[in-house]
Chains A and B, each alone.
Chain A
C-alpha cells in the first residue's frame, strides 16, 4: 500500500509540475523587462518577405535598450480579425497594433487608447505631419486613436507584354491625358474606354478576343481588367466615393455605386473582361485569394503601392503605371492610410508609447519603405520615390523599377476618396459581412438581379444599424 501511495504521489506531482513550473520557465531576461506585444495583420506586414525584416527590426529594438522586450505577432490578414477578436475576448490583447488601415481600426470600435495624454506627456512633436492627416485619426468620442504613419496611393498597373501582343497602345502616362488608340484617335481615359480596351485584351483559348462573335466565354485564358485585393466598397470607388451609411446613420446605396455594380456585373457576365467568381478563384488567376496580376493572365488592375515588388515579381518587369480612369469626368483614386494604435487594455501605456515613438520616429523611413507606403512625415516625402525605387531594385533585381512611370503614384494623392472606402459603419464587422455576401452572390451568378440584391442589402444594413442604435 505504501508503494501504491508513493506511486500516486509521484503521478500527481508529475501532473502538477508542468502547471506550477510554467511561470518559472520564463527566461530571466524577459522577467526583467516589460513585455510589449506588437500585433501585425490588420494592414500591411504579413507578406512573407516582410516578416523577416520586421523580426530583424524587433531584434534591433530589443538590443537598443534594456527596459522593454518587444514581441511581434504576425497573423495573415484573412485570419487577423478573428485572431485579434479572440485575444481581446480572452483578456490577452496585444499592446500595439499596426500597421492598420482605416478598416482595421473601424473593425474594433472602443478598444483603442486615446493617445492625447501620452502625446502631451511626452511632448511628442506632431509638426512634421499634415494637420489634416493628424485629425484624420481623431475620432469623435474616442480621441486621437493614431499618429499618421504612411499612405498608400492607388493607380493602375498594366502588363506591357499583353498590350504589345494585342497591338494596342499603352494607357495614358498622366492624369488628364487622353487614351490615344492605334488610329491616333483620342478617347477620354474613363471607365468606358477602359471597358473597350479591356475587351480587346480578354482572350479565349482559341485566341479570340471578347469583341469577337467567336469568343468562347467558357474558356477564357486572359482577362482585360480587375480591381484586385479589394471588396465591394473598394471596387465601387472607381465610380466615385461613397459609403453604405449616410450622415444620419441610415443605410444607403449611393447611385454611383449602383452604377458601378451594374458595370462590374456586365463586365463579368456579358463583356467577360472582368474575372467572375469562378475565374477569379481558379488556378488561371492564382487560385482563391490569388495574385491576379502576378499570374500574367490579366492586362490591367487597380491596386495600391503596397503591392509593388512582391506583387509584380515574376513578370520580368513587363508592366508600368497608369492613372486611374475617370467616371463622369471625375477621377477617384482610392487611398489607404495606415497607422499604429495602442490598445486601451494595455497595462503598460508608457512603454507601448515608447515603442510607438520608435516605430513612427526613428524607424519611420525604414518601415514605410518596407511596407511600400509613402511616409506621412512631410520631411521624408521628398525622398520617398528615390528610396523606394532603390529598395525595390535591391530586393527584386530582375525589374528595372527606375524606368517606370512613377509620376503617377504621388499624383494620385490629388484624387483621394472622401469618404474613404474603408470608413467605419455601425456594427462594422456585421455590416461588412453582409455586403460581402452580396458580392459573393453577384460575382458568381450570371442572372443575378443587381438592383434587387442592392435593395436587399440596403434593407439588411438598415436592420443592422437599427439594432446598434437601439
Chain B
C-alpha cells in the first residue's frame, strides 16, 4: 500500500513529466521499491500481454480478413468489408443489440433490486436463522450453470413443469399448451430468463450484504432518535452509504448482460426462438465465429461489442461521480 501511495503522489505532483523523468526525481529507495513493484506485477503483465492484449490485436487484424476457421490457408485481406457488412448490411447485428438491450432493461432492474432487497432482508436483525438463510440463498451459485439451465427448462415446461402446476393450484390456468409457456411465449421469455438468472443471485446478494454490514450503526441510531422511518433510513442512509457497492454490481451486471449467451445457447442453440426474441448479440457472434466458422466477421462483431461496452462503462463511470458516495474521498 505504501508503494502505491508514494507512486501516486509522484504522478500527481509531476503530471507533465515523463516516466523516465519521474524515475529520475525519485530517491534510490523509491526507485528500488518501484522496480520491485514492477517485478512482482510482471507475471500479471506478461499474462495480460499474452492472453489479452495480443489476442485483441490479432482479432483486430482478423477483422480485416475473410478467414474461415476450417480453411485458414484460404484467408485473404478484405479491408473494411467485414465492418461495412456488420454496420450497414447485416440486420442481425442491430437486432442482436436490440434484443440484448431490451432484455437488459428488464433483467438488470429486477436482478439488482432483488439482490439488494434480499441483502437488506438477510442483514435484518429481526430475521431468525440469518446464517441459514444466507447459506440457502448463496447455495444455488455453486450449482454449475449449464446443469441449472437444463433443470430450469424442465421446471418451466408448460406441460409437466412444477411452476405451472403450482400456479394452477391457485386457480390460474397455467398447465398445458394453452397455459403459461414461459420459454415459448415472446411476452414471457425475458421474465423466464430473468427468473433463471435470479437462481444465481447469491454472489450479488453477498456483495451487497458485505456493503450493508460496513454502514456505521451510529448513523441509524441518530436517525432513529430523529424519528426517521425505516424507508427514510433506507433511502437517506443505506443506499448512499452502499452506493459504491451498487455501482460495482451495476458494472458487473451490465458487462455480464452484454455477454449474455449461455442461457439462450443451452435452451435453443441460438435459434432465436421464440420469434427471434432470444437472438442475443453474443449468440449471433458465437454462431458466426464458431458455428459458421467465419472468424474474420466474428472478430469484427467482437470488436463492435467491445466498443459498445467501452462506451457504456465510460458513461457509467462519468455519471457515477454524481451519485456514488465514497466516504473516504476528499471533496
Contact = CB atoms under 8 A, between A and B. Distances in A.
B25 interface: no
B273 to A, nearest CB: 4
Interface stretch (A21-29, A281-289, A400-408): A281-289
A276 B158 CA distance: 12
B272 interface: yes
B274 A444 contact: yes
Interface in A199-252: 217-219
Contacts of A110: 68, 70-71
A8 B40 contact: yes
B268 interface: yes
Interface residues of A, number: 42
B5 to A, nearest CB: 19
Given A219-B176, A287-B154, A440 B70 contact: no
Interface stretch (B135-143, B191-199, B241-249, B285-293): B285-293
B147 to A, nearest CB: 13
Contacts of B123: none
Contacts of A430: 287, 291-292
Contact of A89 (B32, B154, B269, B295): B295
**Is chain B's interface secondary structure helix, strand, loop, or mixed overall?**
loop
B159 A282 contact: yes
Contact of A433 (B40, B271, B290): B271
Nearest to A279: B159
Nearest to B293: A85
A457 to B, nearest CB: 13
B273 A108 contact: no
Contacts of A109: 70
Interface in A419-450: 427, 429-430, 433, 436-437, 440-441, 444-446
B43 A108 contact: no
Contacts of A111: 70-71
Contact of A440 (B36, B43, B71, B268): B268
Contact of B43 (A12, A219, A433, A436): A12
A346 to B, nearest CB: 14
B158 A89 contact: no
A283 B157 CA distance: 8
Given A88-B69, A218-B176, A444-B184, A284 B159 contact: yes
Contacts of B68: 110
B96 to A, nearest CB: 15
B270 A433 contact: yes
A444 B158 CA distance: 11
A58 B295 CA distance: 34
Given A218-B178, A430-B292, A441 B275 contact: yes
**Is chain A's interface secondary structure helix, strand, loop, or mixed overall?**
helix
Interface string A267-294: 0000000001111011110011000000
A15 interface: yes
Given A88-B69, A441-B275, A283 B177 contact: no
Given A4-B36, A281-B153, A89 B160 contact: no
Given A89-B69, A89-B293, A108-B70, A217 B157 contact: no
Given A218-B177, A278-B177, A441-B274, A283 B154 contact: yes
Contact of B272 (A91, A218, A429, A437): A437
Given A110-B71, A284-B159, A287-B154, A278 B184 contact: yes
A81 interface: yes
A82 interface: yes
Given A111-B70, A218-B178, A281-B157, A8 B293 contact: no
Given A8-B39, A12-B43, A88-B69, A282 B160 contact: yes
Given A277-B184, A282-B159, A284-B160, A433 B287 contact: yes
A82 B290 CA distance: 7
Interface in B170-219: 175-179, 181, 184
Contact of B273 (A4, A86, A89, A441): A441
Given A8-B39, A89-B69, A440 B177 contact: no
A145 to B, nearest CB: 14
B308 interface: no
B58 interface: no
B215 to A, nearest CB: 38
Interface string A12-44: 100100000000000000000000000000000
Contacts of A88: 69-70, 293
B291 A440 contact: no
Contacts of B39: 8, 12
Given A12-B43, A283-B160, A288-B150, A217 B177 contact: yes
A239 to B, nearest CB: 24
A218 B160 CA distance: 11
Nearest to A444: B184
Nearest to A8: B39
A86 B43 CA distance: 28
Of listed A11, A78, A89, A219, residue having the most chain B CB within 10 A: A89
11 contacts: A218-B178, A278-B181, A282-B157, A282-B159, A284-B160, A288-B153, A437-B271, A437-B272, A440-B268, A444-B273, A446-B177
Given A85-B69, A283-B154, 16 more contacts: A11-B40, A78-B269, A88-B293, A89-B69, A89-B295, A110-B70, A277-B184, A278-B157, A278-B177, A281-B153, A282-B159, A282-B160, A283-B157, A287-B154, A433-B292, A437-B271
